């Protein structure tokens, strides 16, 4: 009972619980924090809401797994071979069921660089076709970036492509779970997918949704399309539980506030700035104070504003 009381408390977490400055929570493991059971059968190891560092071993995203009764499905390969191995050790402590499938939520390093461990275990690795293209095109530089911060903790990591890809959805019926991997449309980065558990009303959203840390806007993040995908495909799921790509499990109200509403707000600020004849230099400093309590605000706010300006200037 205590475990589920804890889960309930986390589901209503806000940015007040964000913990960028808290030291590693699981010092005996490469994982930043120990996995816990969010709802029956669904576990998540919550990463640091901070940039990847040697201290957090690159575990700054959520590594989740589903114990189905007929095998285990893992969501995210992890940022390194050793990190994936550490997650597998935690899975073995929970169940004797074998890992039968790994999903990559996108083509970013913290989702795919641990694929080399899972491939060695002969586990199929599934990703969207665009995520697989990212790994094929940029895997070498993604690996080098991880090696620079992770040093000896990068040992054993190699670029490993997904072994299976899909375009729209990939559905698995396993044990007590129907697991729907869906590409809902353009969002944070190429090949973003969500894992939807319709019976449990739970979505493992990946980088579709943020709440405790500020979302980063990349050069190829099309914010107008992300908003459209949210409104037409993500919100209609009507999920009760959300395990975001970063930060503690929560609910749709929270991720809407800090993802959809932030994107709308920032585009409104930049739109007003453009209407007033403002340029790029001033655009970096449009007001984002409603979101200054989020982790990584100082690292990302000005970059986000500049990238939205560059997008909207030509819309």
pLDDT tens digits for 224-254?
A: 999 999 999 999 999 999 999 999 999 999 9
Average of per-residue pLDDT values in the chain: 93
Residue 270 · residue 305 · CB < 8 Å: yes
- The residue-averaged pLDDT of 191-210 equals 98
Residue 226 · residue 263 · CB < 8 Å: yes
The 10s digit of each residue's pLDDT in 64-100 is 999 999 999 999 999 999 999 999 999 999 999 999 9
297-312 vs 261-275: helix crossing angle, rounded to 10: 60
The 10s digit of each residue's pLDDT in 136-195 is 999 999 999 999 999 999 999 999 999 999 999 999 999 999 999 999 999 999 999 999
pLDDT at site 106: 98
pLDDT at site 20: 45
User: Closest by alpha carbon to 54, among 188, 163, 151, 174?
Assistant: 151
d(CA 268, CA 295): 22
pLDDT at site 166: 98
Find the helix or strand (DSSP H, E) in which 271 lies: helix 261-275
pLDDT at site 23: 66
How many CB atoms are located within 10 Å of the residue 151 CB? 10
Residue 14: pLDDT over 50: no
Residue 132 · residue 161 · CB < 8 Å: yes
pTM: 0.92
Helix count and strand count (H, E) for the chain:
10, 12
At residue 7 the predicted structure's pLDDT band, cuts being 50, 70 and 90, is: very low
The 10s digit of each residue's pLDDT in 49-67 is 999 999 999 999 999 999 9
């Amino acid at each position: 009972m205590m475990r589920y009381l804890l889960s309930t408390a986390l589901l209503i977490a806000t940015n007040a619980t964000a913990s960028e400055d808290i030291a590693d929570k699981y010092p005996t493991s490469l994982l930043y924090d120990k996995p816990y059971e969010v709802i029956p059968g669904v576990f998540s190891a919550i990463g640091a809401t901070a940039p990847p560092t040697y201290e957090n071993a690159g575990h700054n995203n959520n590594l989740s797994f589903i114990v189905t009764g007929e095998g285990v499905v893992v969501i995210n390969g992890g940022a390194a071979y050793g990190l994936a191995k550490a997650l597998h050790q935690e899975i073995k402590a929970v169940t004797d069921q074998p890992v039968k499938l790994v999903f990559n939520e996108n083509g970013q390093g913290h989702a795919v660089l641990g694929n080399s461990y899972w491939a060695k275990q002969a586990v199929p690795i599934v990703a969207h076709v665009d995520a697989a293209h990212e790994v094929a095109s940029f895997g070498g530089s993604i690996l080098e970036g991880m090696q620079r911060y992770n040093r000896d903790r990068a040992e054993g990591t190699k670029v490993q492509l997904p072994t299976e890809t899909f375009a729209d959805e990939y559905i698995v019926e396993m044990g007590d779970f129907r697991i729907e991997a869906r590409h809902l449309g353009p969002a944070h980065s190429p090949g973003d997918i969500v894992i939807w558990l319709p019976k449990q009303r739970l979505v493992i959203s990946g980088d579709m949704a943020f709440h405790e840390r500020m979302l980063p806007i990349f050069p190829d993040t099309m914010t107008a399309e992300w908003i459209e995908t949210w409104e037409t495909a993500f919100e209609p799921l009507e999920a009760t539980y959300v395990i975001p790509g970063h930060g503690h499990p929560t609910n749709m109200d929270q991720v809407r506030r800090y993802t959809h509403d932030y994107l709308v707000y920032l585009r409104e600020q930049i739109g007003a700035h453009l209407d007033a004849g403002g340029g790029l230099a001033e655009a970096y400093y449009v007001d984002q104070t409603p979101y200054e309590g989020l982790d990584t605000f100082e690292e990302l706010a000005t970059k986000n504003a500049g990238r939205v300006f560059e997008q909207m200037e030509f819309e």
